[in-house]
Amino acid sequence: MSNQNILPARQLRAGNCFFCDPELHDIKLVVGLGNPGPKFNATRHNIGFAVLDELATTLGFSFESKSNFELANFVASSGHQIKFVKPQTFMNLSGQILPHFLKGGLKSEQILVIHDELEKPLSSVALKFSGSARGHNGLKSIIDFVGPNFWRLQFGVGRPEDKAEVSNFVLSRFTPVEQPLVQQSLVKIQDFFNCKK
């Protein structure tokens, strides 16, 4: 898919199916962004890790520790093979895991990155192909290695009123009021991948 064919972000809705979507048929690598270590668990910036942990339970796979990432292999009933990856490099260096997969012939268009998105309302989930990092250092690192033409699953985490608070905000945890909304969206993503596994 070239830049001329970029589609606008589309909201993930009930009934959407990852394995039935012809635009996503070629995806072979799903990368959930986050920071390693207990102190970052359940923070907004780690929503990519949270999504993959939920999918591991739903789809029945487990992660294996590698040199600088955690990896799980999954084969759907359709034969669609996917690698799920959690970088262990810290967010700003997330792209460093990609050469391991690129040397096997992986193309950027076959990558889906799941990440927190400040520009989306809390708990909204959208699919988007290509675009800039928009200040997200994890996306910037991915772009440094493969360019901008990869898929993104954007998970809205809200935004602080004061821009100076963004760094602290993304490393904060969801409030008790926000948690049910976040959980609803996590279930929606599980259903998206579990439609015809």
* Helix, strand, or coil (residue 192): helix
Q: What is the pTM of this model?
A: 0.94
- Asked whether the beta carbons of 86 and 69 are under 8 A apart, the reply is yes
CB 70 within 8 A of CB 31: no
**Which one of the listed residues 45, 80, 100, 115 is annotated catalytic?**
45
Our answer to whether residue 45 is catalytic in this structure is: yes
User: Domains in the chain: how many in total?
Assistant: 1
CATH number at residue 69: 3.40.50.1470
What does the pLDDT look like over 150-174, one tens digit per residue? 999 999 999 998 989 999 999 999 9
pLDDT digits (tens, 9 = 90+) for 109-144: 999 999 999 999 999 999 999 999 989 999 999 999
